[in-house]
Amino acid sequence: MEITRELWGTAPDGKEIFRYTLRNAAGAYVQVASIGAAVVAACVPDRDGRLGDVVLGYRDPMSYFGDGPCAGKIPGRYANRIAKGRFTLDGKEYRLPVNNGPNHLHGGPDGFQNKVWESRIENDGVEFMYYSEDGEMGYPGALKAVARYDWSEENELRLTLTAECDAPTVVNLTNHTYFNLNGEGSGSVLGHELMLNASEYLPADESLIPTGDSEPVAGTPMDFVTAKPLGRDIDADFPALRYGKGYDSCWVIDGAGNGQLQPAAELYSPESGRLLEVLTTQPGVQIYTGNWLAGCPEGKSGKSYGDYDGVAIECQHFPDSPNRPDYPSTVLRPGEVFEEAVIFAFKVRK
Active-site residue among 266, 314, 317, 340? 314
Instruction: Quote the CA–CA distance of 346 and 30 in Å, as a whole number.
Output: 11
Burial of 231 (0-12, 13-18, 19+ CB in 10 A): middle
Task: Decide if 52 contacts 43 (C-beta within 8 A).
Answer: yes
Residue 231, CB-side half-sphere exposure with 13 Å CA sphere: 10
Instruction: Quote the CA–CA distance of 348 and 194 in Å, as a whole number.
Output: 15
Backbone angles phi, psi at 9, to 5 degrees: 170, 180
Burial of 307 (0-12, 13-18, 19+ CB in 10 A): middle
Instruction: Quote the CA–CA distance of 266 and 270 in Å, as a whole number.
Output: 13
Residue 195, CB-side half-sphere exposure with 13 Å CA sphere: 12
Residue length of the chain: 350
Active-site residue among 176, 193, 317, 340? 176
Q: How many angstroms separate the most distant Cα atoms in the chain?
A: 59
Where in 245-300 does DSSP place strands (E)? Answer: 248-252, 262-268, 274-280, 284-288
Active site residue 314: yes
What are the residues facing 130 on neighbouring strands?
145
Residue 329 is classified by DSSP as P
Question: CA torsion sign, 349 to 312 to 70 to 242?
Answer: positive
Count other C-beta atoms under 10 Å from residue 108's C-beta.
Answer: 24
**Residues with a known catalytic role:** 176, 314
